[in-house]
């Protein structure tokens, strides 16, 4: 089989079909990826990141609450008309921006049977090309360019690429965990030799946790088709990557890891969601100065209480 390196990657898959149980009842009728982070839904940051990395074909894997997602990335004629009539051109621009961002497609994941299953729903759209996966509730600061680095690593080394962060040993049970070895010629890039989904601290092969960015070889689809439900009775992408880590590169295998120590915001977790909003609001030119002043006095009051 030929090595699959030459492909120019243009497609991004954004799974957004999970149940979002940690955010109930807010996510009863709305996907958690639509929750606002300051004044934009989390998933818009993710689509903007894909587009900034050159991936303008975006496939969203949606679940039972797909309407708000589709509406957000579609034109909103009545709203646009009302804003235009009021002469509110700034807001009109904001409303139009999300519908002109990318070429967005949708596929339905009938049953939320896990992230691996969500990715396999993308097969008819993606075909035999490498592609990126961006989790819709995991935000990477645009200043940190993680996806660009991962796409370069795929171009140079083939196979699939995961993003890894180092976590405290006590936290590793919340993540997929990778056993790694150095590749020698590039600091910050490692070869992944094994993967395990949400291990107990005592069984974890390392402190390297997989976060929500992947560049995948299309060979993953065939592996997913034969991956039985794993942890939590879900089809785990981690389990498929574990198989690919042992397959020769010429057959679409090999998994590399890009070590990331930039800014990441996991908006699927309530406490982290709150911290994200506070941090991003503080940095905003329009909201930041007033919000920071309020926050400072609030924290001072709390310290004295």
Interface ranges with ligand UTP (CB under 6 A):
15-22, 61, 109, 112-115, 117-118, 135-137, 268
Give Cα separations from 113 to 66, 102, 125, 272 (angstroms). Answer: 16, 27, 19, 25
Beta carbons within 8 Å of 210's beta carbon, 6+ residues apart:
162, 163, 164, 175, 176, 177, 178, 195, 238
CB of 39 to ligand UTP, least distance (A): 21
C-alpha 272/C-alpha 263 separation (Å) is 12
Q: Please say whether the beta carbons of 223 and 243 come within 8 A.
A: yes
Nearest to 128 by CA among 18, 217, 14: 217
CB of 293 to ligand UTP, least distance (A): 34
Nearer to ligand UTP, 53 or 119 (CB): 119
Q: Phi and psi dihedrals of 170, rounded to 5?
A: -70, -15
Locate tokens 């990657």: which residue? 9
CB of 198 to ligand UTP, least distance (A): 10
Give Cα separations from 262 to 42, 74, 166, 204, 234 (angstroms). Answer: 18, 32, 11, 23, 30
C-alpha 223/C-alpha 253 separation (Å) is 10
Nearer to ligand UTP, 110 or 188 (CB): 110
CB of 243 to ligand UTP, least distance (A): 19
Cα 66–31–278 angle (5° rounding)? 145
Nearer to ligand UTP, 231 or 292 (CB): 231
Which residue number places its CB atom closest to ligand UTP? 18
Nearer to ligand UTP, 58 or 118 (CB): 118
Nearer to ligand UTP, 15 or 257 (CB): 15
CB of 237 to ligand UTP, least distance (A): 9
CB of 146 to ligand UTP, least distance (A): 17
Nearer to ligand UTP, 28 or 296 (CB): 28
C-alpha 66/C-alpha 70 separation (Å) is 6
Nearer to ligand UTP, 17 or 83 (CB): 17
For the chain, the first-to-last Cα distance in angstroms comes to 68
Structure letter (DSSP) for residue 250: G
CB of 197 to ligand UTP, least distance (A): 11
Which of helix, strand or coil describes residue 165? strand
């Amino acid at each position: 089989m030929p090595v699959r390196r030459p492909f120019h990657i243009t497609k991004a898959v954004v799974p957004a079909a999970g149940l979002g149980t940690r955010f109930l009842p807010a996510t009863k009728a709305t996907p958690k990826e639509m929750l606002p982070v300051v004044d934009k839904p989390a998933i818009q940051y993710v689509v903007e990141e894909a587009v900034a990395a050159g991936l303008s074909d975006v496939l969203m894997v949606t679940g039972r609450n797909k309407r708000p997602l589709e509406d957000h990335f579609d034109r909103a004629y009545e709203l646009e008309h009302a804003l235009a009539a009021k002469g509110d051109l700034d807001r009109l621009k904001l409303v139009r921006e999300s519908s002109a961002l990318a070429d967005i497609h949708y596929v339905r994941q009938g049953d939320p049977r896990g992230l691996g299953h969500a990715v396999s729903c993308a097969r008819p759209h993606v075909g035999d090309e490498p592609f990126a996966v961006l989790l819709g509730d995991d935000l990477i600061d645009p200043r940190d360019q993680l996806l660009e680095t991962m796409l370069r690593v795929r171009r140079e080394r083939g196979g699939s690429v995961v993003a890894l962060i180092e976590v405290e040993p006590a936290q590793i049970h919340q993540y997929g965990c990778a056993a790694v070895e150095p590749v020698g010629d590039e600091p910050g890039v490692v070869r992944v030799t094994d993967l395990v989904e949400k291990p107990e601290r005592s069984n974890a092969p390392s402190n390297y946790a997989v976060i929500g960015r992947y560049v995948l070889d299309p060979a993953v689809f065939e592996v997913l088709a034969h991956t039985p439900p794993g942890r939590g009775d879900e089809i785990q992408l981690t389990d498929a990557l574990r198989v690919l880590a042992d397959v020769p590169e010429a057959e679409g295998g090999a998994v590399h890891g890009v070590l990331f120590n930039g800014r990441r915001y996991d908006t699927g977790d309530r406490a982290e969601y709150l911290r994200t909003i506070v941090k991003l609001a503080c940095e905003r030119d329009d909201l930041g100065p007033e919000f920071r002043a309020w926050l400072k006095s609030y924290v001072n009051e709390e310290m004295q209480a």
